Amino acid sequence: MIRITLICPEPLLAEGRALLMALGTGPQDADALHLSDWRNGTTGAAVAVASSEMPEDWLLQLSAPLQRPDWDSAAQIDMQAAARAQAALHLWDETGHPSPTDAQAIILAKGLAPRRVLELALVSQNTLEG
């Protein structure tokens, strides 16, 4: 198992959710990625954040051509959106830093603690005072 953290800009949320469904076991996998109060610290733009332990072969699926999963016989997944998300993935590990200003990239960090990923990507929770 490996820790995966995704940071998805709001404009790519539908695509990111489609990708999670395409790689997952059911439509509920899309629910892992949703907007809350996370913001890009550089631009202030809303981002969705998800983090989970995943089997190592999950990463291999990211580089393979996407196939509609067997469970999706009703064609719930927008496979074109999932492919756009796959193309927008920026795989990031412990080397370098993710680009916090790229609104056209979904950051996928592997092997790092989620809080560390968010810190390095300049993502923080939006807190309103007063």
* Per-residue confidence band for 36, with pLDDT thresholds at 50, 70 and 90: confident
pLDDT averaged over every residue in the chain: 86
* Per-residue confidence band for 70, with pLDDT thresholds at 50, 70 and 90: very high
Q: How far is CA 85 from CA 23, 105, 124, 127, in A?
A: 12, 8, 23, 29
d(CA 23, CA 26) in angstroms, rounded, equals 9
The predicted pLDDT at position 130 comes to 40
Q: Which of 70, 82, 57 is nearest to 26 (CA)?
A: 70
The predicted pLDDT at position 18 comes to 95
Q: What percent of the chain has a predicted confidence (pLDDT) above 90?
A: 40
pTM for the structure as a whole: 0.85
